[in-house]
Amino acid sequence: MLKAAVVGAQTLLGQELVKALEACEASVLPLHTGPLSTAEEEGDLVVFAPSPALLEGLDLVILVDQLQDLSLLAQFPGRILDMREDADPKTSGEPMPLAGLWPPTVLRFRGRPALEQALALVPALVDGVGEVSGTHISSVAMQGERGVRALLAQTRAILAGEEPDLGDLGYRAAFEAVPLVPRGALVEVRVPTFHGDMLLLHLRSLPGKKLAPRDAQPGVRWVDSPPSTREVAVTSDALVHLNLAEDGTRGTLVLGYDPILWGVLRPTLRLLGLEIEH
């Protein structure tokens, strides 16, 4: 049985990871990111303040939030998976592989952004792809619990006729779509949804080739019509739809996924050789 600790179990992502691992019959120790307050000790979620003694005998530590004292892990002999958004690439290990199990010679990996994983799927989904451009529609779930709670607070404030607090998100999200400066051929638009991200990609074939759909890989499902953010927010699969031009040289690929369910839970369990519950 896998013995793991989740540091940051009080967060939205941490809670989901604990539930997913326990559903796979792993032994999970939920840890806070630091000392617990009285309110937290008396709360519904049972978590423990981190200490070196609690880590003894564990196989794996998953970091999903900033640990107040990172020296706690300095002598940990097992595997470490760093899923923090602000993880330092120089110290948090190489990016987790896009396929396969955790290699026995590697002790530390850091998570890959869900967008990076989704874009890496394109050549495996459609044959003959040359140029790719499009739009990334992102929900606040990509910022974890902080984003979800901030959007909820902003929505409530606006409905009450008040100015929303922009501190947590840094921008006004409720009831607004916010386009960002393009990154190469990809434009990001932040939309006021809690969960579910979308890639709307324009494909052009390689010279002399035609675009053609390929068989879906594990964790990916072809659908008959473009999925909605609601549909992708309730599944651990990425939902994809392809619409081809008559000559087969151009097409529109819609790829929808949930940044937590598909972008974090599924690759984490796959890396550990565990099956995600549908």
d(C-alpha 254, C-alpha 252), whole Å: 7
Count other Cβ atoms within 10 Å, centred on residue 5: 25
Name the amino acid, one letter, at 179.
Answer: P
The parts of the chain modelled with pLDDT lower than 50 are 42
The domain ranges of the chain are 3-111, 116-258
CATH classification for the domain delimited by 116-258, as one of 3.30.360.10, 3.10.129.10, 2.60.40.420, 3.90.550.10: 3.30.360.10
In whole angstroms, give the CA distance from residue 174 to residue 153: 9
* CB 86, CB 33: distance < 8 Å: no
CA dihedral 119, 124, 130, 133 (to 10 degrees): -20
State the pLDDT at residue 194: 83
Residues with Cβ within 8 Å of 18's Cβ and at least 6 positions away in sequence, in order, are 6, 9, 28, 30
What's the CA gap between 152 and 205, in Å, rounded?
42
Pick the CATH number of 3-111 from 3.30.1440.10, 3.40.50.720, 3.40.50.1860, 1.10.760.10: 3.40.50.720
170-215 pLDDT, tens digit per residue, is: 888 899 898 988 888 999 998 988 889 999 999 999 999 999 999 9
